[in-house]
Amino acid sequence: MITTDFAPGSPCWLDLGAPDVQAAAAFYGAVLGWDFESMGEGMEGGMFRKDGKIVAGLGKLTEEGARSAWMIYFCVDDAGATTQAVERAGGTVRVAPRDFGDDGQMAQYSDPQGGQFAVWRPGKITGFELADQPGSLSWTELYTTDAAAAKEFYGGVFGWQFGDMPMPGGGGAYTLITPAELPEDRMHGGLMQVAPEDLSLANGRSYWHPVFAVTDCDAAVASVTENGGSVQMGPADMEGVGRLAVCLDPSNADFVVLAPAEG
C-alpha cells in the first residue's frame, strides 16, 4: 500500500503536464472528485485536492515534443546521490537536482528503456497528503520493454525489492515492487514487460502511470467517456486485486482507475 510516511524509494508525489490546465482540472474534477487550487493569477498550474487534502499537482505542458503524461516522484534522501546512481546504472538525467529552498529538492530522469520518473527529497513539503483512499494514488505501474533490465536499474537506484507473480492465462510475469527493507504490505507498484508496439503512447518507450482508487470502477469509466476521455482496457475484474480500467484523459495522458477487492 502507498502511505504518506514516505520511506525512501516510495512514491511521494505526482503531477500532470497538460496542454490545457483548465480543461484537465475540469476532467479530473469530474472523474475523481478533485478540487483544483490555482497557484495564483497569471500562473498556469496548481494543486488538486480531495476532501481538502493535496493529492497531486497540475502544470502547463511546456516541453517541446513531449506528450501529456503523469510524472511519478519517489522519495529520496539526497537527489544528488540518486543522480549519480542513475548515471551509473545507465539512466539519463532530464532535470538535474534542483533546490527549492527549505521546501525540498527534485530531479527528473529516464531509465535505459525511456521510462521517465522523478525524485523528491522532502523538506517542509513532504508530498501528497492522501493516499490509498478513493480519489488518490493507490499504486504505480511501469510498462517496460525489458523487465529484467528494469529490475536491475531500479534495484540499483532505489534498492527496491521485487517479487514475480504469474499473469492470468500464461501471459508472462508481473513484478511487484516494495521499498528497500520494508515488508510486503508496503508494496507500492508493479512492472510488466510489453512489446514496443504496445507502447504507442510513448512511441515504443517504456512509461510509468498512476493507479487511482475509486469506489465504483464502472461509474468512473462512464465519467471518463462522458467528459472527453477514452478507455484502453476494461473495466475488468482481476482476482485478488479488484475491478479496474486503463483510461486516457482528453489529452491522452494515461491512468488507471481501480475499485479494490474487498478484504
What cell does 136 get? 488518490
Instruction: Give every strand in the sheet of 11-18, ordered side by side.
Output: 35-38, 45-50, 53-60, 11-18, 69-75, 116-122, 104-110, 92-99
Assigned domain for 130 exists: no
CA distance 167 to 42: 48
Cis peptide before 235 (omega within 30 of 0): yes
Provide the edge-to-edge strand list for the sheet that holds 189-193: 161-166, 173-178, 189-193, 137-144, 207-213, 254-260, 242-248, 230-238
State the Cα angle at 230 between 225 and 234, rounded to 5°: 95
pLDDT for res 167: 78
Which CATH number characterizes residue 90's domain?
Answer: 3.10.180.10
Mean pLDDT of 53-57: 98
Q: What distance lies between CA 173 and its chain's CA centroid?
A: 20
Same domain, 151 and 255: yes
Q: How far is the CA of 14 from the CAs of 85, 207, 247, in angstroms?
A: 22, 14, 17
Query: Which amino acid, 165?
Result: M
Angle made by CA atoms 262, 48, 107, in degrees to the nearest 5: 100
Position 179 in a domain: yes
Poorest-pLDDT segment among 104-113, 165-174, 234-243:
165-174
Q: Are strands 230-238 and 242-248 parallel, antiparallel or unpaired?
A: antiparallel
Q: What is the pLDDT of residue 263?
A: 63
Same domain, 167 and 107: no
Banded model confidence at residue 41, pLDDT cuts 50, 70, 90: low
- Residues 209-226: tens digit of each pLDDT: 999 999 999 999 999 999
pLDDT at 250 over 90: yes
C-alpha cell belonging to residue 15: 503531477
Label residue 64 by pLDDT band (50, 70, 90). confident
Given 76, 93, 122, which residue is the final one in a domain?
A: 122
Which tens digit of pLDDT belongs to each residue from 152-190? Answer: 999 999 999 999 988 776 667 899 999 999 999 999 999
Same structural domain, 86 and 193 = no
Could you tell me the residue range of the domain that residue 30 belongs to?
11-122
Of 204, 205, 170, 210, residue with least CA distance to 190: 210
Span 108-124, average pLDDT: 97
Same domain, 255 and 141: yes
* Residues 106, 171 within the same domain: no
Position 33 scores a pLDDT of 98
HSE-up of 109 (CA within 13 Å, CB side)?
27
- Residue 125 exposure: Cα atoms within 13 Å on the Cβ side: 17
Whether residues 253 and 181 share a domain: the answer is: yes
If pLDDT is split at 50, 70 and 90, which confidence band does 257 have?
very high
- Calculate helix-pair angle for 21-32, 217-226, nearest 10 degrees: 150
- What residues contact residue 249 under an 8 Å CB cut-off, 6+ apart? 18, 24, 27, 28, 68, 224, 228, 229, 255
Q: What is the mean pLDDT of residues 25-37?
A: 97
The structural domain count of the chain equals 2
Are residues 146 and 244 located together in one domain of the fold?
Answer: yes
How distant, in Å, are the alpha carbons of 16, 79, 164, 183 from that of 73?
11, 11, 23, 21
